[in-house]
């Protein structure tokens, strides 16, 4: 019991994911800055930002359902902690809880729904447009994301445990080495981009269009929850891809640990570069992209996986 | 689907200045747009009437922070127009040099902002990085990065130092190369193309009906360019007028990128001419006789127009300014309605609106905060006409008449 509490609250759950997430957030800002010929923020900038937000007041809007407004970021934060614990347990300890992939898919949807609920409760036009866009993003990337996850499940012999997928990979080679694996991996990175709301899929939050959209009315600690949850996604979503396609991380030797960190950082940097070399797409082109290109591509990967390529 | 009203402004990350757009949307589609100006009124015309002509030129330089030389250019034209002042050839070349360098930096600034508005922050930072050397050249030439204070009635206030020519050439070469790169990227990048191509189309008819000017009109196939149409200084140099025909945001971008390359070539022609053309750079004008004069100049955003009424004193009796955005901003009504919100916002930015330049008018409201209907254009014309009647045949300044009363 105590062990699981430790998993949940310290490592790889809340404490680790938030601290490491803020550090990865710094990497993101620094790499973006270097791509854009800027210097970038100091190492502790994200920590300053979050701690400062913690000290600010919460502004509530009169005549709106406060309860949903306040509970939405907490629910979202909880789902993110749970997901990072599940992914981290497999990544660092090799322990699974059984059926964890299904659980992750559900939790990711709950995060989006919490965002939509929190935004809709404010009655602000920017928030409602942002919520609408978030909903459209959810229905556009969800299918592709599930199809991508199906590929390792099928390859590992219809196992939905992350540990079993890892075991399959250590026995039969990495899934990314197969044709279906590489296709699913590429689509998977784009899905992560959409899940995290990064350019080109930051349509829901589009700062210059709808002023941070769903998060517009949030302030103080509640905004800190959203921001922290966003940064924590940087920790576990690339880890999830490493586990599903790239054989996870092994603690056998120093070299293998470095290789694991390298794989993780490679995915993060790839996402940051995609973010920095693309403009924001329109919501209809995003839906078009996921339904006409990404999902069929992922479907082809699934069929290839069933054939066994 | 019910209509939803999106207040864009007065303070919004899309707008670098305060401006209010009342956008009505159905879902994501814009069905109507209304503009409300008057948040940035600074009273330049009125202040100008209290300044001497030379000071007035420095005052109108402050109208726009980005195209800060266009207004002095047009104001100097207007003041010279009263007496048909001759400008020394060297001064003409210096004017062209300053004007074209400014066009380069203004278009680069727009390019960066446009990138930022569509979420492409890398393009933003890169465009502004290439803009930096241009500002440094300005600092070397005029002493200022912006607001160069180069214009005087009858010429320019400083000579151009010929020793700077070798320093400027590498920057021009760099700019030309980078602009070709950006033009290529805009053509090749499918995401950028899908975001800009066919978006916010302003048809040729609409551009003519709304009296669009500058790159906004030229991207819609209207062949106007004050530099070529009026001649004056610009007869000294060769340059093409870029006209494209689709009228979408993509064409507006391409027109501006091509104009940067053209401006680079014009600046090169000036640099070639500087060692050959010596002599005076300022034809000192002591007195501006009574009468009226108009001056036009092709600012980076379009035609800027200045009207000067002189009564023989050392300050203008009436100074009327029309900035290009005044006629470009209303084109939103033609280009934004019926397109998705995400596209409408880049369409707003694509005419490169400069709000505080435009707003020489204030919003008049009565006690109940209800708008009073005033046709400001008519009011302005009436004021000028009344002034004409008042000063016709009189050699005295209005201040004299006040003292007589």
A245-270 pLDDT, tens digit per residue, is 887 777 778 888 888 888 888 988 88
Task: Give the pLDDT of residue A79.
Answer: 92
Between vectors from CA B265 to CA B259 and to CA B268, what angle results, nearest 5°? Answer: 145
CATH H-level superfamily of B40-327+341-358: Cytochrome-c3 Hydrogenase, chain B (1.10.645.10)
B chain contacts of residue A282, beta-carbon cutoff 8 Å: 194-195, 340, 342-343
Task: Give the pLDDT of residue B399.
Answer: 47
Task: Give the pLDDT of residue B395.
Answer: 53
pLDDT band at A42 (very low <50, low <70, confident <90, very high): very high
pLDDT tens string A146-169:
899 888 888 888 888 888 888 888
Q: What would the two tokens of residue B380 be?
A: 């302005």
Q: Are A208 and B7 within 8 A, CB to CB?
A: no
Closest residue of A to B121, CA-based? Answer: A276
**CA-wise closest residue to B268 among B79, B132, B104:** B104
By the CB < 8 Å criterion, does A128 face chain B?
yes
Q: Which of B118, B130, B188, B349 to mutate to test the interface with A (most CBs of A within 10 A)?
A: B118
Question: Mean of the pLDDT values across residues A196-225?
Answer: 83
Task: Give the pLDDT of residue A48.
Answer: 92
Structural domains counted in chain A: 1
Task: Give the pLDDT of residue B398.
Answer: 47
Task: Give the pLDDT of residue B347.
Answer: 86
Task: Give the pLDDT of residue B370.
Answer: 64
Question: Mean of the pLDDT values across residues A227-245?
Answer: 88
- Give the residue extent of every domain in chain B: 40-327+341-358
pTM score: 0.84
Question: Mean of the pLDDT values across residues A224-251?
Answer: 86
Judge whether residue A21 has pLDDT over 60: yes
pLDDT tens string A98-149:
778 888 888 888 998 998 988 888 888 888 888 888 888 888 888 889 899 8
Task: Give the pLDDT of residue B365.
Answer: 62
Taking 3-state DSSP, the helix, strand and coil percentages for chain A, each rounded to the nearest 5, stand at 75, 0, 25
B chain contacts of residue A276, beta-carbon cutoff 8 Å: 121-122
> 3-state class of A113 per DSSP?
helix
Q: Are B342 and A208 within 8 A, CB to CB?
A: no
| A94, A95, A97, A100 alpha-carbon torsion, rounded to 10° | -10
Distance from the Cα of B389 to chain A's closest Cα (Å) equals 49
Positions in chain B whose pLDDT score sits under 70: 1-2, 38, 359-380, 388, 390-405
Judge whether residue A298 has pLDDT over 50: yes
Distances (CA, A) of B14 to B70, B193, B199, B348: 24, 21, 17, 9
Q: What would the two tokens of residue A133 be?
A: 């866009």
């Amino acid at each position: 019991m105590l062990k699981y509490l430790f998993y949940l609250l310290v490592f790889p759950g809340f404490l680790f994911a938030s601290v490491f997430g803020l550090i990865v957030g710094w990497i993101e800002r620094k790499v973006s800055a270097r791509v854009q010929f800027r210097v970038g923020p100091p190492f502790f900038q994200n920590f300053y930002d979050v701690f400062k937000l913690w000290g600010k007041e919460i502004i509530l809007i009169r005549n709106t359902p406060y309860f949903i407004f306040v509970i939405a970021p907490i629910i979202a934060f909880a789902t993110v902690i749970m997901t990072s614990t599940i992914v981290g347990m497999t990544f660092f300890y090799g322990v699974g809880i059984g059926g964890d992939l299904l659980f992750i898919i559900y939790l990711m949807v709950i995060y989006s729904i919490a965002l939509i609920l929190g935004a809709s409760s404010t009655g602000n036009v920017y928030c409602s447009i942002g919520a609408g866009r978030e909903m459209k993003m959810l229905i556009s990337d969800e299918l592709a994301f599930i199809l991508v996850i199906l590929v390792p499940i099928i390859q590992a012999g219809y196992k939905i445990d992350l540990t079993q997928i890892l075991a399959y990979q250590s026995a039969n080679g990495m899934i990314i080495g197969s044709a279906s694996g590489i296709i699913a991996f590429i689509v998977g990175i784009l899905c992560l981009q959409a899940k995290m709301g990064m350019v080109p899929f930051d349509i829901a939050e589009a700062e210059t269009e709808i002023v941070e959209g769903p998060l517009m009315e949030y302030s103080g600690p509640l905004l800190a929850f959203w921001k922290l949850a966003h940064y924590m996604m940087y920790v576990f979503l690339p880890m999830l891809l490493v586990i599903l396609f790239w054989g996870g991380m092994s603690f056998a030797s120093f070299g293998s640990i470095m290789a694991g960190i390298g794989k993780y950082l490679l995915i993060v940097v790839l996402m940051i570069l995609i973010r920095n070399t693309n403009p924001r797409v329109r919501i209809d082109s995003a839906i078009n992209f996921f339904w006409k290109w990404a999902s069929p591509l992922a479907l082809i990967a699934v069929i290839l996986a069933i054939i066994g390529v | 689907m019910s209509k939803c009203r999106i207040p864009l402004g007065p303070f919004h990350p899309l707008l670098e200045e305060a401006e209010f757009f009342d956008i009505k949307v159905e879902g994501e589609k814009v069905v109507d747009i209304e503009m409300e100006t008057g948040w940035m009124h600074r009273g330049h015309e009125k202040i100008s009437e209290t300044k001497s002509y030379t000071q007035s030129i420095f005052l109108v330089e402050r109208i726009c922070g980005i195209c800060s030389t266009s207004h002095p250019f047009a104001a100097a034209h207007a003041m010279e127009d009263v007496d048909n002042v001759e400008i020394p050839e060297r001064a003409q070349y210096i004017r062209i040099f300053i004007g074209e360098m400014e066009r380069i930096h203004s278009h680069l600034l727009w390019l960066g902002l446009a990138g930022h508005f569509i979420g492409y922050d890398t393009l933003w930072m890169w465009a502004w990085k290439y803009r930096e050397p241009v500002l440094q050249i300005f600092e070397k030439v005029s002493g200022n990065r912006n607001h160069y204070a180069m214009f005087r009635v009858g010429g320019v206030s400083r000579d151009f130092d010929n020793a700077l020519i070798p320093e400027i050439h590498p920057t021009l070469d760099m700019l030309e190369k980078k602009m070709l790169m950006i033009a290529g990227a805009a053509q090749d990048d499918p995401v950028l193309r899908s975001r800009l191509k066919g978006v916010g189309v302003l048809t040729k008819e609409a551009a003519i009906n709304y009296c669009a000017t500058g790159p906004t009109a030229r991207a819609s196939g209207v062949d106007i360019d004050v530099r070529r149409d009026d001649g004056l200084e610009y007869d000294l140099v060769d340059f093409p007028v870029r006209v494209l025909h689709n009228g979408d945001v993509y064409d507006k971008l391409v027109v501006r990128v091509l104009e940067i390359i053209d401006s680079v070539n014009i600046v090169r022609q000036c640099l070639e001419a500087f060692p050959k053309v010596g002599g005076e750079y300022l034809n000192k004008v002591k007195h501006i006789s009574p009468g009226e004069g108009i001056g036009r100049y092709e600012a980076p955003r379009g035609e800027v127009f200045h009207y000067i009424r002189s009564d023989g004193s050392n300050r203008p009796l009436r100074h009327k300014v029309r900035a290009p955005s005044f006629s470009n901003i209303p084109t939103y009504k033609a280009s934004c309605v019926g397109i998705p919100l995400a596209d409408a916002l880049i369409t707003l930015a694509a005419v490169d609106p400069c709000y505080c330049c435009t707003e020489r008018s204030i919003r008049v409201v009565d006690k109940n905060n209800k708008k009073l209907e005033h046709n400001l254009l008519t009011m302005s014309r009436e004021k000028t006409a009344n002034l004409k009647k008042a000063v016709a045949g009189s050699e005295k300044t209005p201040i004299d008449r006040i003292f007589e009363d």
